[in-house]
Amino acid sequence: MALETKDREAAGRKSKILTEILPFTGFYLAEGYHQKYSLRQKPGLMREFKAMYPDDENFINSTAAARVNGYVAGYGTYAMLLTEISSFGLSPEESRKLIDQAFQSKR
Three-state SS sequence of 26-66: CCCCCCHHHCCHHHHCCHHHHHHHHHHCCCHHHHHHCHHHH
104 confidence band (pLDDT: 50, 70, 90): confident
Q: What is the pLDDT of residue 106?
A: 56
Q: What is the pLDDT of residue 29?
A: 85
Please state the pTM of the whole predicted model. 0.73
CATH topology of domain 27-103: Peptide Methionine Sulfoxide Reductase; Chain A (3.30.1060)
Stronger pLDDT, 104 or 47, i.e. the higher one: 47
d(CA 96, CA 98): 5
What are the domain boundaries of the chain? 27-103
